[in-house]
Amino acid sequence: MKVGFIGLGIMGFPMASNLIKAGYDLTVYNRTIEKAEKLKGAKVARSPKEVAENSDVVISMVTDAPDVEEILFGENGVVKSNKRGLIFVDMSTNSPEFAKKTAKRLSEYGIEFLDAPVTGGDKGAREGTLTIMVGGKESIFKQVEPIFRAMGKTIIYVGDVGSGQALKLCNQVVVALNMVAVVEGLLLARSFGIDDEKLFTVLSTGAANSFTVQYYLPKIMKGDFEPGFKAAHLKKDLKYALEIANSKSLPLLGTSLALQLYNAMVSIGMGEKGTQGLIKVYEKMISK
């Protein structure tokens, strides 16, 4: 199968690289063409329409729902290729409702749709060990599964369209609260004069251990706030999760707090930094 890939950011570039390593015939598009040209072994398209014309499966890995809509239905969007039988896979994180609406709109053009958000951060994207959660027709999932396996280690078929996004939002709630816990634990330890390395040893070898502890706590300790996953993106995901929770009358109190904290992080100009930069919000509160 010929594959198209749209969106070569922190996650998309290494994901596309792994498809090339797996031997796929890859056509890519990125708003910044220069970035696409750095991907050795891929053909560079000048529009999403051109990607679709040269692909059997098109994958998007962009920021939010408006970006996906532009890719699909914009002036030079995927649907303008008039390629019936195409499979479009949105690996971005969006709302389940958006996935359902998108699938319905694409069906009018004879295009199949899967929502397949990922977790594992930039590390998982580079190493090809992402966890991928997939919603859509099972028959279409089975066609695309080998492509997913070139980018991820754990592939979960969840169910109907939108269910991949639903599971991803559950994941993001836990991710966000883990970061809050790590930051607060670190601040408390420092208030006692406890060495950061000793805290890391305890957290990483005991009941508190997690990916956040293993990967992000050392970054915080070093003052490294470059993004593996941007704070502005997590804020967006938490907003989706809370909108759904509110519609179901679910009291996600921790998630509400986490969203407020990430709103604050974006407001102090750190939205493009990694989620571990949350400690800066706490430090600002301490300094007042």
In whole angstroms, what is the distance from residue 156 CA to residue 135 CA?
9
How many CB atoms are located within 10 Å of the residue 265 CB?
24
In whole angstroms, what is the distance from residue 153 CA to residue 117 CA?
14
**Coil, strand or helix: which one is 219?**
helix
User: Which of 3, 72, 34, 176 minimizes the C-alpha distance to 168?
Assistant: 176
Q: Residue 279 is encoded by which pair of tokens?
A: 């400690």
Beta-carbon contacts of 93 under 8 Å, excluding residues fewer than 6 positions away, are: 117, 165, 168, 169, 172, 233, 236, 237, 240
How many CB atoms are located within 10 Å of the residue 160 CB?
16
Catalytic residue among 100, 168, 230, 235: 168
**Coil, strand or helix: which one is 169?**
helix
> Residue 60 gets which letter from DSSP?
E
Beta-carbon contacts of 70 under 8 Å, excluding residues fewer than 6 positions away, are: 77
Q: Would you call 284 a catalytic residue per the annotation?
A: no
Can you tell me which residue has the tokens 């990967």?
215
DSSP class per residue in 102-136 = HHHHHHTTT-EEEE--EESHHHHHHHT-EEEEEES
> Residue 274 gets which letter from DSSP?
B
User: Which of 65, 62, 93 minimizes the C-alpha distance to 238?
Assistant: 93
Looking at the annotation, which residues are catalytic?
A: 168
